[in-house]
Amino acid sequence: MATSIDQRNMSLRTITWPIFIELFLQTIMGSTDTIMLSHISDHVVAAVGVANQLVFFTILIFSFTATGTAVLVSQYLGAGMRKDAKQASAISISINLVIGLVVSLLMVIFKGPLLAMFHLKPDIAEIGYEYLSIVGGTLFLQAVLVTVSSILRAHGFTREAMFVSVMMNVIHLAGNSIVIFGLFGFPVLGVKGVAISTALSRAAALLIAFILMYKRLPIAIKKEDYFTFQLSQIKKILKIGIPAASEQISYNTSQMAMTAITAIIGAAALSTRVYTWNIMSFIMLFGLAMGQGTQILIGYRVGAGDFEGAYRQLLKSLKYSFVITMFISILVAIFREDIMRIFTNDKEIIHTGGKLLLLCLILEPGRTFNILVVNSLRATGDAAFSVKIGVLSMWGIAVPISYFLGIHLGLGLAGIWIAFIVDEWERGIVMYFRWRSRAWEKKVLVVNSKTATAR
């Protein structure tokens, strides 16, 4: 039987780099997918893009179980409680399977009313119905996949989770090529073929993930474990998962509100926002990877009762993250207009986008700061505090300031970007003082003899 990864060999670098590559490839593949769909028609791109907004929202629902499981399992492993880690893993898979089946059924039944919210033209809506019937109907595969991948990462097997993601994207890319371009004599199936390719790639990735999970986990999950529900563990999973999902939903909806504010400025402003945000997403990837890696390491440390080690780990992660984020931001700022020309030849958009990328020299370090501290607090079990501050800041600061500066004072997109900066830094600073207060030591989910002594 496989042994658990040696905690002494776990470092921020070894944990983080596979997560970074996984996120980077997912971002690249998303762009590639859009380009391939454009070979069918612009209507297909529009229909699939809108349908995927619904799909991405459901993945947020699945992520609350996966996030809670990752934190709980890492704390159990840090405490040496492998059997409890195994049981929590099995329970989370069962929970997300049930949630996934319900969501899949609802997506198929209510695909019409859901798409009607976007006021699509009849021909585009028809394409969306066809796509959601297949992709929406198989969302339960994604529900289980995100859970198993989180379990692998929590055990320190980030390279295995990366491999699963890479294989899913490669299979999806190959499937799209076959059904869109009719390779190897295969019939051109259009959007139906793309939907089938998406479903099959998720099914293949799920199979690979299960094989790796049973091969790598120190104690194999048995059939009866999937049907053994312990209320105490479910409560711990939800204690982390629900606040994490709520914060993400609040962030996404506030971004939609700020996009609506951008639309008031004009169509050129919307295009500029989309292009600039795509570029910024690549800067943000490192912060996201560092945040997930730090979360795993801190989860292990607080589970082992090593609160001082957990405290120092965040400070160490912040130091590395600031240096690398600033380096990437400076490079982007230097070549900002050249990068913008990859997306458009419109001089106004290039000029405005260049200004926004200069503001990223302030924005991106603040975003990385915020991501790392929030993930670290979540790793200890202190998740509710960040949600309260997040909702207050997003809706009480970011949205109102973006309207005041962007519309009322006429600063346009620059005003909206200043609102982003204020929001990210304000949340990061408040979260950092929460970390410094060490109130999170009383929020730890797993209490063993070491933890009790430390308290």
- Residues 57 and 172 grouped into a single domain: yes
What is the model's pLDDT at position 435?
Answer: 96
- Residue 6 resides in a domain: no
What is the model's pLDDT at position 241?
Answer: 86
- Residues 179 and 284 grouped into a single domain: no
- Residues 180 and 268 grouped into a single domain: no
- Residues 334 and 441 grouped into a single domain: yes
- Residues 218 and 272 grouped into a single domain: no
Q: Is the dihedral of CA 9, 153, 67, 450 positive or negative?
A: negative
What is the model's pLDDT at position 34?
Answer: 63
| Weakly modelled stretches of the chain, pLDDT under 50 | 1-4, 8, 450-455
- Residue 455 resides in a domain: no
- Does the predicted model carry a pTM greater than 0.75? yes
- Residues 365 and 278 grouped into a single domain: yes
Q: Domain limits at 408?
A: 241-450
Which amino acid is present at 332? V
What is the model's pLDDT at position 440?
Answer: 93
Average pLDDT value over all residues in the chain:
86
Domain end call among 194, 229, 264: 229
What is the model's pLDDT at position 184?
Answer: 79
- Residue 66 resides in a domain: yes
- Residues 340 and 400 grouped into a single domain: yes
Range 96-101, long-range pairs (CB < 8 A, 24+ positions): 96/62, 96/65, 96/66, 96/143, 96/144, 96/146, 96/147, 97/140, 97/143, 97/144, 99/61, 99/62, 99/65, 99/143, 100/62, 100/139, 100/140, 100/141, 100/142, 100/143, 100/144, 101/140
What is the model's pLDDT at position 453?
Answer: 43
- Residue 218 resides in a domain: yes
- Residue 380 resides in a domain: yes
Domain end call among 208, 229, 250: 229
What is the model's pLDDT at position 448?
Answer: 60
- Residues 249 and 343 grouped into a single domain: yes
State the Cα–Cα distance between residues 2 and 207, nearest whole angstrom.
19
Domain end call among 196, 229, 262: 229
- Residues 293 and 406 grouped into a single domain: yes
- Residues 395 and 261 grouped into a single domain: yes
- Residues 211 and 265 grouped into a single domain: no
- Residues 171 and 278 grouped into a single domain: no
Number of separate domains in the chain:
2
Q: Check: CB of residue 337 under 8 Å from CB of residue 303.
A: no
